[in-house]
């Protein structure tokens, strides 16, 4: 039986308060945990169900039940709900946006002085929200970090996650164990960025929910714990309002949502990743990531997956596609050099022929420097062009591990 969360229900949208707590040391702990992974080592048996500290590890063939599995999974250490998208207003004015809700569990083993309801045991919620105004060349972003409770939390029996006045909630959710019916849900996303932007969107799936990975598990390294359940709405019709510096705009566009459930992501020796989601004008989508080793090589757990117009997937291994940087940008803030222009070469499963997809950023300046720690990564909207230069879609690109400050913290 599903249970309601044991923390207070968040206030209504009109009554959201704006309290904000930050903790630099805690954030760095979370970041290093996400990057290096937690729990078991590669030498341990891949059949173990839990990490050394008692958190669950994704298992092949897991059966999902919805709307419960759209919600939070406290038996796993890490979880995030990640939305990126492209919006347009009247006159063709274009925007890119990102909204991310992270959850990391508190300590699973309690000391004699702690109880299961103590402050130190509660999970952390980290959030990022960003907006690119393409015409103005302006990039707004904000980060938040809160303990679960009034300021942040997530429901366990349906999609409802919040951090301050940022909220992602699923509506019209009914209990249905069938995977094919999991996409019969509406989503609502709302939040503010530094008091300069207010975003309020309705998101409707245009194709079924997709499960990435092999037999239900998306592997990120050879370590048994470096894996996730990777659930995605690859194509969400977005509509709603954007208030930017006092100007109210009606917007519509296309978004992508990832929900990953894990107890450890990357393995030792991996320094970062390059990730992209592509939405092509022909109704197909691509999710791909390249896991980077310290010696510059690509980890064999890297992947590219095609999603056709009905939601069926075709997965390719690292030897079946090529990711090549074609241009870089140096951040004036962190001095990090990001390979943010990318050429992806792969076989098109529809034609069986090689295809080339070029990612061209809508703006160079889409670096997020987290004010809680100074750690930076590049996450931005891109155009997708074919080999002849024709615009054939849109994408979001994420580049991590290129900041010198991050590298120094991983030693």
pLDDT per residue as tens digits for the range 142-165: 999 998 888 999 999 999 999 999
Per the prediction, the chain carries an average pLDDT of 83
Q: Are strands 337-347 and 227-244 parallel, antiparallel or unpaired?
A: unpaired
Q: Which of 81-85, 99-103, 104-108, 224-228 has the lowest mean pLDDT?
A: 104-108
Q: Which of 87-91, 152-156, 168-172 has the lowest mean pLDDT?
A: 168-172
pLDDT at 144: 94
pLDDT at 171: 87
pLDDT band, residue 121 (cuts 50/70/90) = low
pLDDT at 405: 34
pLDDT at 251: 98
| Residues 6+ positions from 356 with CB-CB distance below 8 Å | 343, 344, 345, 386, 387
pLDDT at 173: 67
Q: What's the CA gap between 66 and 180, in Å, rounded?
A: 10
| Residues 6+ positions from 399 with CB-CB distance below 8 Å | 272, 274, 338, 339, 340, 377, 378, 379
pLDDT band, residue 375 (cuts 50/70/90) = confident
Q: Is the pLDDT of residue 170 over 50?
A: yes
What are the structural domains of the chain? 19-409 (2.40.370.10)
The per-residue pLDDT for range 173-191, each reduced to its tens digit, is 666 666 766 777 899 999 9
User: Region 196-201: what's the mean pLDDT?
Assistant: 98
Asked if residues 54 and 72 have their Cβ atoms less than 8 Å apart, the reply is no
Q: Is the pLDDT of residue 16 over 50?
A: no
pLDDT at 53: 79
- 161 strand-pairing partners: 154, 168
pLDDT band, residue 342 (cuts 50/70/90) = very high
Q: What's the CA gap between 338 and 363, in Å, rounded?
A: 13
pLDDT at 172: 74
Q: Which of 1-10, 140-149, 291-300 has the lowest mean pLDDT?
A: 1-10
pLDDT band, residue 391 (cuts 50/70/90) = very high
pLDDT band, residue 31 (cuts 50/70/90) = very low
Q: What's the CA gap between 155 and 162, in Å, rounded?
A: 9
The per-residue pLDDT for range 214-270, each reduced to its tens digit, is 989 998 888 878 889 999 999 999 999 999 999 999 999 999 999 999 987 667 778
Q: Which of 112-126, 277-291, 300-314 has the lowest mean pLDDT?
A: 112-126
Q: Is the pLDDT of residue 116 over 60?
A: no
Instruction: Kindly report the pTM of this predicted structure.
Output: 0.86
Q: Which helix (H) or strand (E) holds 33?
A: helix 24-36
Task: Compute how many other C-beta atoms are within 10 angstroms of the C-beta atom of residue 386.
Answer: 14
Q: What's the CA gap between 93 and 96, in Å, rounded?
A: 11
pLDDT at 107: 62
């Amino acid at each position: 039986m599903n249970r309601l969360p044991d923390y207070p229900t968040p206030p209504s949208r009109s009554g959201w308060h704006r309290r904000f707590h930050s903790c630099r040391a805690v954030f760095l702990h979370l970041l290093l945990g996400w990057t290096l992974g937690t729990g078991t080592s590669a030498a341990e048996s891949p059949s173990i169900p839990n990490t050394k500290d008692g958190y669950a590890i994704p298992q092949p063939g897991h059966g999902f039940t919805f709307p419960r599995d759209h919600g939070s999974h406290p038996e796993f250490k890490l979880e995030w709900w990640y939305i990126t998208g492209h919006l347009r207003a009247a006159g063709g004015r274009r925007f890119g946006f990102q909204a991310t809700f992270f959850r990391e569990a508190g300590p699973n083993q309690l000391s004699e002085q702690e109880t299961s309801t103590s402050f130190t045991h509660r999970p952390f919620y980290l959030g990022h929200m960003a907006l690119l105004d393409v015409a103005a060349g302006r990039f707004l972003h904000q980060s938040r970090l809160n303990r679960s409770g009034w300021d942040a939390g997530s429901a366990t029996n349906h999609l409802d996650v919040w951090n301050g006045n940022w909220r992602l909630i699923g509506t019209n959710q009914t209990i249905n164990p069938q995977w094919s019916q999991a996409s019969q849900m509406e989503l609502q996303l709302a939040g503010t960025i530094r008091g300069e932007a207010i975003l309020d969107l309705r998101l409707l799936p245009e194709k079924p929910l997709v499960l990435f990975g092999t037999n239900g598990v998306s592997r990120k390294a050879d370590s048994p714990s470096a894996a996730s359940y990777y659930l995605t709405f690859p194509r969400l019709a977005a509509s709603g309002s954007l208030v930017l510096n006092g100007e109210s705009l009606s917007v519509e566009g296309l978004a992508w949502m990832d929900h990953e459930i894990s107890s450890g992501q990357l393995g030792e020796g991996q320094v970062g990743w390059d990730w992209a989601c592509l939405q092509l004008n022909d109704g197909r989508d691509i999710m791909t990531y390249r896991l980077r080793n310290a010696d510059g090589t690509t980890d064999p757990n890297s992947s590219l997956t095609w999603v056709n117009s009905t939601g069926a997937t075709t997965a390719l291994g690292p030897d079946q596609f090529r990711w090549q940087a074609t241009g870089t940008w140096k951040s004036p803030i962190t001095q990090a050099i990001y390979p943010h222009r990318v050429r992806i070469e792969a076989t098109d499963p529809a034609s069986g022929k090689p295809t080339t997809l070029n990612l061209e950023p809508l703006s160079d300046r889409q670096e997020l420097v987290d004010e809680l720690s100074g750690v930076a990564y590049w996450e931005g909207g891109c155009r997708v062009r074919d080999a002849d230069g024709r615009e054939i879609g849109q994408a979001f690109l994420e580049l991590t591990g290129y900041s010198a400050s991050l590298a120094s913290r991983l030693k």
